Chains A and B, each alone.
Chain A
Amino acid sequence: MDNRAAVYLCRGCDIGAALDVDALRDLVTGDLGVETCRDHECLCSDGGRELLRKDVQEGVDTLIVGACSSRLMTDAFTFDGVHTERVNLREGVVWSHEPNDEDTQMLAADYLRMGVARASKVEAPEPFQEKVDPTVLVVGGGVGGMSAALTAARAGRRVVLVEKQPRLGGWMARFARQIPREEPYRVPKASDIDARIAEVRAEKRIAVHTSCTIEKISGQPGQFDVSLRGSGGSLQLRVGAIVQATGWEPYDATRLDTLGYGGSPDVITNVEMEEMIAACRIRRPSDGSRPRRIAFVQCAGSRDPDHLPYCSGVCCNVTVKQALVAREFDPELDVYVLYKDMRTPGQHEAFYRHAQEDGRIFFTKADVTGVDTSGPTPVVQARNSLLGETIALEADLVVLATGMVPHAADGEAIRRYQDAKAVIAKGEAGAQLEAAKTTEAELRHLEGAGILHLDYRQGPDLPTLRYDFPDSHFICFPYETRRTGIYAAGGVRAPLDSDLATEDGAGAALKAIQAVELATQGRAVHPRWGDMSYPSFFLQRCTQCKRCTEECPFGALNEDEKGTPQLNAARCRRCGICMGACPERIISFKDYSVDIVSSMIKSVDIPDEFEEKPRLLGLLCENDAYPALDTAGLKRIRHSAFMRFIPVRCLGSVNVVWIADALARGFDGVLLVGCKSGDDYQCHFIRGSELMETRSQNIRDKLKQLALEDERVRLEQLSINEFERLPEIVDEFAAQIQEIGLNPFKGF
């Protein structure tokens, strides 16, 4: 350790009372070779910080602070241009272990060894900065896209707005009335779409390209090179970030034949009803006559596992609107609404109430079983309604309230489809060809489905999750997609009404502005906001195995023809999953690397087998499991003192060599604690804990080959609030390892 480092030991918060601090100081200045080691009654106090400040002034550039958790008192121990390494002696040692105990003292000593080992290896990250273009590209000129464009422009950014249709406005331009947004929330209001289009047209920072599509996008946030194809030919431009507001399509009603669509011209969709309202003329398509009775069938193809399993959330309000407008057009009209549940949340309840108060709009819960179109007038058949157990309701016009399908393209599926086509084109024989043929047949509907045409190794469009919505954290971080700097907004991101789509566009515009801002500074976006580190690749040793490019959840890596990874630093979220994946261990961050963590593992003092003190390594997610451990400490919940914890950026960043190193070094077991995986995953990097599951299975297989018990490596999933469970897991694991016995490789 060079002499510009210094170690500080806090005696406050029970640390001094529970540990032999003098012995720790001797360890630091002796075995650990750090000349300067000071202790203080309360390091975060003015006096304590003064100690650090003075040393910094005199040239100390690395502060190793043995005090509370790194999650607390960050400001107190942060100095410009100085690396601070926190060693958690409070929550991690004295608050969670027996005071003045040999094992507790050994634990504190090991955490100091690990802290010094890490501090001696980390380098200050330098930001990856290149010239950026702050222009925002908005794809889609409906209400969501127009809102995104206006918001970004009014915030001072140049905007390029691309719409494939000849005019702006999307679906809303075809509708005349809107759901009310203002008090008293009761009356359908006239559409304001023309005013909105005029605002966009008048904004000098927005360049509008209609009848225009995307040909190709390459690059990264701050430096996306975009090729557009419009009526006048191709256009090349550079933008900094992208909002995808490509909207939605009505669910294909031709698939609703049991509901009479196609069977009678008098069975129409709610979109067709909008068009009649816009024309101020509601007529039966069959004979042009005025309908005397209209029946609305809610959830037509929605909330239905055979069609759209989800609820589009807007159709109930749309039906209320259409019913009220139809009644306004014709005071003699009767309207029936057959619903599963009426969904008019928030202030829209007043809108629904208005329709309920209308004496000729009748709402009933009913299970619609079909629409009979054999006669001259359609008959809606339903069960369990307020009108009777089984009813047949004749209606001159039946309106099917169909739902919204996102206008998205699953980039990963398109990639699989393209790969399959490539295999078939090559004409290779055997199982690979058969598999490719199956994939090609399954995904053939994706032919021509591309929207963004990203030049990304992992596929040309945003990856989608459930029901083809391209998001990744739809509760806490709804704008996060898995492609940095590209944000989805409006109907493509979730089913929503025009008011919410307008909001959504404004939010996505902010995210786009933010992505450019952070790219300019060379910093990461969510969830490692502000992180300046990025992975570097020692390519001379790369074997082109492609694990990094395949496993990166964010598509940050492209490949050259040979399969060598090519980093796009501004796309990177700094999770380290590539580092965990690399079998050659050639990927590292300046402040997080295979070597740094290995050094920490190797710095731990392993008692020989006769002492009967097992040593366990715990690698845990720094966002969830580590705070849970802190909370357990705060609550003074104890756990085994044989455990040595190292927080990791994501469990997916764990390189299996760490586990091998630990076992070779004499650790008796390794505990991996990550976030929940699966459909309801909690991993902030989406796939980290899932990838670790696969890797740890491989490790267990290897352990068996070495005649070691596979229980020595254990993977657990934990939520941040399970602070009572984590100590239990540690103790159970420690007990299990003691039962199995010590690592036979200890001492070799």
Chain B
Amino acid sequence: MSATGARGSILVVGGGISGITAAVEASEAGADVVLVEKLPFLGGRVARLNQYFPKLCPPTCGLEINLRTLRTSPRIRCLTLSEVERITGEPGGYTATVRRDPRFVTERCTACGACVEVCPVERPDAFNLGMGTTRAVYLPFEMATPMRYAIDADACRGDECGACVAACPYGAIDLATEPETIEVEVDAVVWATGWDPPDAARFEGLGFGQYPDVVTNVMLERLAAPGGPTGGRILRPSTGEEVRSVAFVQCAGSRDENYLSYCSGVCCMASLKQARYVREQVPDADITVYYIDIRSPGRLEDFYAAAQADDKLSLIKGKVANVVGGADGLEIEVEDTASAQLVRRSFDMVVLATGMVPVGVGGAELDSGPQQDAYGFLRPRDRSGMLTAGCAKRPADVATCVRDATAAVGRALEFCGEGSRG
């Protein structure tokens, strides 16, 4: 029980920026927290961003503060590689069943890396969206929390190999770990399951999956990140050469009744930010952003104004219809709205500004879960103990997610301790 009498416990589903914020804010307000994350590390999508707009600061800076609390708070229990299977009960008394998949690396791991040297299996690097590989035993990324290795069950050869088991000086590898089921009793639940990028190969005509130099915005974040597959250098995937010209295709599969009919709200700012990454590395690069509307709300407008002042950056209103590989790199075909002309131009690299697909409640069985709209976003029912936050609720930028997560915890307190006693 906390000093002022707040108590109770909250289950936070999802360990991205919204979930981390909810967990930290709740614990600092006196509640106990169980944080469930399906991946082996915390940080979710933001951990894979190079920088935030508009300050161009690294996400790990703010995460460091939150994760320090998360690592040391006695009030937070963190379950990675875990997913909620079922929740029963009502506000003030939920029972959640959580399945925890094996990491095969125990808490004895010191992150020394001896295992990696002997592991014979390469796997696509999931953290870097398949660009590059890791061994089957891997550290998710250089600032991972928890700072422990994990083994990819699908890639690992298991007992028939066992090289890492022998190499680990600390006996931290246990290939026989079984999945386990954990039950937790909580007063309220915050769904902060976030988003996935859509499968860009579905977007007809845009060439993703067909031409290696057509990349998505989430891939470009990794290409620009110091810990990414190219050490932070933005290079053409096909040749490994510096990019001289880049086209950003806004609303790739968004605001489009065939794919995602909503607007994800952040892709304009993400592209303007990524244009800055390119500009910093290649001062005279030719950059064009093709857009329907540039959406830079609030003071983000300043960032857009700065982009407009860049004379080697063109902003053209028009939706890109086609991307075709040619001798000169990639040719894009676009109807310039202002001139009503069909325009063709060639670029070294095309970045698809793809949107956000909400993860929702996953496969969890719920007695009375949040409402899910036609797009898959979750909205809490009135005065329910199942709250929703961040991109699970609506497409949003980091600041909105943080505010939303804090608000969800504020509402959850109604069912915790004093609030619930009326």
Tell me if chain B binds chain A.
Answer: yes
CB pair B394 A507 closer than 8 Å? no
Is A509 touching B410 in the complex (CB atoms < 8 A)?
A: yes
B285 adjacent to chain A (CB < 8 Å):
no
Residue-wise interface mask of A (324-359) relative to B, using a CB-CB cutoff of 8 A (1 in contact, 0 not) = 000000000000000101111111111001000000
Q: Is B225 an interface residue (CB 8 A)?
A: yes
Selected contact of B406 from candidates A386, A474, A510, A635, CB within 8 Å? A510
- CB-based contact B299/A310 at 8 Å: yes
A310: contacting residue among B28, B30, B170, B298, CB under 8 A: B298
A305: B residues at CB distance < 8 A? 305
- A residues near B345, Cβ cutoff 8 Å: none
Cα-based distance from A72 to B57 in the complex (angstroms): 24
Q: Are A74 and B71 within 8 A (Cβ)?
A: yes
A interface size (C-beta, 8 A): 97
Assess whether B294 is in contact with A341, with CB atoms less than 8 Å apart: yes
User: B231 — which chain A residues lie within 8 A by C-beta?
Assistant: 724
Q: Which residues from A are CB-within-8-Å of B61? A: 476, 623-624, 675, 682, 719-721
Judge whether A313 and B110 touch: CB under 8 Å: no
Q: Using Cβ atoms and an 8 Å threshold, which residues of chain A touch B56?
A: 680
Residue of A45, A134, A386, A510 contacting most chain B CB atoms (<10 Å) = A510
- Stretch in A525-533, A539-547, A688-696 touching the partner: A525-533
- Do the beta carbons of A478 and B4 come within 8 Å of each other? no
- A311-B297, A466-B299 known; A510 and B62 CB under 8 Å? no
Given contacts A155-B410, A347-B373, A624-B64, contact A631 B143 (CB under 8 A): yes
Is A443 among interface residues, defined by CB-CB distance under 8 A? Answer: no
Q: Is B399 an interface residue (CB 8 A)?
A: yes
Residue in contact with A720 in the complex, picked from B58, B261, B296, B317, CB distance below 8 Å: B58
Instruction: Determine whether the beta carbon of B305 is less than 8 Å from that of A156.
Output: no
Q: How far is the CA of A296 from the CA of B25 in the complex (A)?
A: 42
Residues of B within 8 A of A132 (CB): 4
Whole-angstrom distance between the alpha carbons of A308 and B278 in the complex? 30
A270 at the interface (CB under 8 A from B): no
Which residues of A in the span 718-748 have a Cβ within 8 Å of any Cβ on B?
Answer: 719-724
Of B108, B112, B295, B338, the residue contacting A343 (CB under 8 A) is B295
B29's contact among A184, A343, A513, A526, by CB below 8 Å, is which? A513
Q: Which residue of A lies closest to B17 (CB)?
A: A476
The answer to whether the Cβ of B16 comes within 8 Å of any Cβ in the partner chain is no
- Does A89 make an interface contact (CB < 8 A)? no
- A289 CB to closest chain B CB, in angstroms? 34
With A and B bound together, what is the CA distance between A342 and B337 in angstroms? 14
Interface residues of A in 628-658 (CB under 8 A from B): 631, 634-635
* A353 proximity list for chain B (CB < 8 A): 261
One of B210-218, B236-244, B326-334, B374-382 at the interface: B374-382
In the bound complex, residues from chain A placing their C-beta under 8 Å from that of B2 are 517, 520-521
Taking a contact as CB atoms under 8 Å apart, the answer to whether A346 and B28 are in contact is no
Q: In whole angstroms, what is the CA distance A722 to B50 when docked?
A: 11
Interface residue range, chain B: 35 or more
Q: Which residues of the other chain, A, contact B71 by a CB distance below 8 angstroms?
A: 74
Q: Once the chains bind, are A513 and B302 in contact (CB under 8 Å)?
A: no
**A469 at the B interface (CB under 8 A):** yes
Tell me the bound Cα distance from A116 to B129 in angstroms. Answer: 45
- Alpha-carbon distance A44/B112, docked complex (angstroms): 13
CB-based nearest A residue for B46: A476
Let me know if B413 and A513 touch, CB within 8 A: yes
Contact B3 A13 (CB under 8 A): no
Least Cβ–Cβ distance between A143 and chain B, in angstroms: 13
Which B residues touch A467, using CB under 8 A? 299
Instruction: Please tell me if the beta carbons of A347 and B375 are within 8 angstroms of each other in the complex.
Output: yes
B175 at the interface (CB under 8 A from A): no
B395 to chain A, nearest CB (A): 5
Tell me the smallest distance from the CB of B273 to a CB of chain A, in Å: 12
Q: Measured between alpha carbons, how far is A504 from B65 in the docked complex, in Å?
A: 22
Q: Which residues of A lie under 8 Å from residue B58 when comparing CB positions?
A: 719-721
Question: Is A514 a contact partner of B28 (Cβ separation < 8 A)?
Answer: yes
Contacting residues, chain B, for A287 (C-beta < 8 A): none
- Decide: A517 and B403 in contact? CB cutoff 8 A: no
Judge whether A721 and B298 touch: CB under 8 Å: no
Tell me if B65 and A13 are in contact (CB < 8 A).
Answer: no
Assess whether A506 is interfacial by the CB under 8 Å rule.
Answer: yes
In the complex, per-residue mask of B40-84: 1 if CB is within 8 Å of any chain A CB, else 0: 000000000010101111101110111011011100000000000
Cross-interface CB contact of B60 among A341, A525, A627, cutoff 8 Å: A627
Considering only residues 366-416 of chain B, those with a C-beta below 8 Å from chain A are 373-375, 377, 379, 394-396, 398-400, 402-411, 413-414, 416
Check B410–A507 contact: CB distance below 8 A.
yes
Q: How far is the CA of A567 from the CA of B192 in the complex (A)?
A: 40
- Nearest chain-B residue to A302 (Cβ)? B301
- A536 proximal to B (CB < 8 A): no
Q: Does A61 sit at the interface, judged by CB under 8 A?
A: no
Given the known inter-chain contacts A155-B6, A495-B298, please indicate yes or no for A529 contacting B143, CB distance below 8 A: no
What residues of A have a CB within 8 angstroms of the CB of B163 in the complex? none
Identify A517's interface contact among B30, B68, B410, CB under 8 A: B30
Q: Which of B131-148 contact A (CB under 8 A)?
A: 142-143, 147
Are B396 and A346 in contact, CB atoms less than 8 angstroms apart?
Answer: yes
A42 at the interface (CB under 8 A from B): yes
* B265 CB within 8 Å of chain A: yes
In the complex, the chain A residue whose C-beta lies closest to that of B406 is A507
Most buried by B among A183, A303, A721: A721
Residues in A with CB closer than 8 Å to B379 are: 181-182
Q: Which residues of B contact A312 (CB under 8 A)?
A: 297-298
Interchain CB contact (< 8 A) of A520 among B3, B409, B410, B419? B3
- Whether a CB of chain A sits under 8 angstroms from the CB of B263 is yes
- Quick check: B64 and A627 within 8 Å, CB to CB? yes
Q: Is the CB of B295 within 8 A of A345?
A: yes
Say whether A529 contacts B399, CB under 8 Å: no
Contact of A151 among B262, B373, B398, B410 (CB under 8 A): B410
Find chain B residues with CB under 8 A from A627 CB. 60, 64, 143
| Given contact pairs A476-B61, A514-B28, A347 touches B394 in the complex (Cβ within 8 A) | yes
Per-residue CB proximity of A695-717 to B under 8 Å, as 1/0?
A: 00000000000000000000000
Task: Name the residue in B56, B264, B406, B409 with the highest tally of chain A Cβ atoms < 10 Å from its Cβ.
Answer: B406
Return the chain B residue nearest A14 by Cβ: B112
- The CA of A185 and the CA of B30, in the complex, are separated in Å by 37
Chain B CB within 8 A of A309 CB: yes
Report the nearest B residue to A78, measured CB to CB.
B72
Q: Which residues of A contact B403 (CB under 8 A)?
A: 478-479, 500, 503-504, 507
Name the residue on A nearest B141 (C-beta). Answer: A631
- From B6, B302, B374, A156 is in contact (CB under 8 Å) with B6
Q: Cβ of A506 and Cβ of B55 under 8 Å apart?
A: no
In the complex, how many angstroms separate the beta carbon of A687 from the nearest chain B beta carbon?
16
Q: Does A380 contact B (CB under 8 A)?
A: no
Interface presence of B300 (CB below 8 A): yes
B417 interface residue per 8 A CB criterion: yes
Which of chain A's residues have a CB closer than 8 A to the CB of B5? 156
Partner of B413, one of A72, A386, A510: A510
A616 in the interface (beta carbon within 8 A): no
Instruction: Kindly state the separation between the CA atoms of A654 and B301 in the bound complex, as whole angstroms.
Output: 36
- Inter-chain CA distance A479–B404, complex, in Å, is 11
Q: How far is the CB of A132 from chain B (nearest CB, A)?
A: 8
Q: Distance in Å from the Cβ of A579 to the closest Cβ of chain B?
A: 21
Are A341 and B373 interface neighbours, CB within 8 A? no
Contact with A along B74-97 (1 / 0, CB 8 A): 000000000000000000000000
Tell whether, in the assembled complex, residue A479 and residue B112 are in contact, meaning their CB atoms are under 8 Å apart: no
Q: A721 to B43: give the CA distance in the assembly, Å.
A: 15
> Is B261 a contact partner of A350 (Cβ separation < 8 A)?
yes
New contact pairs (4) apart from A345-B264, A476-B65, A530-B69, CB-CB < 8 Å: A309-B302, A346-B262, A346-B394, A500-B403
**Contact sample, A vs B, 10 pairs, CB 8 Å cutoff:** A154-B411, A182-B373, A183-B373, A349-B263, A474-B299, A476-B402, A503-B407, A506-B411, A507-B407, A624-B61
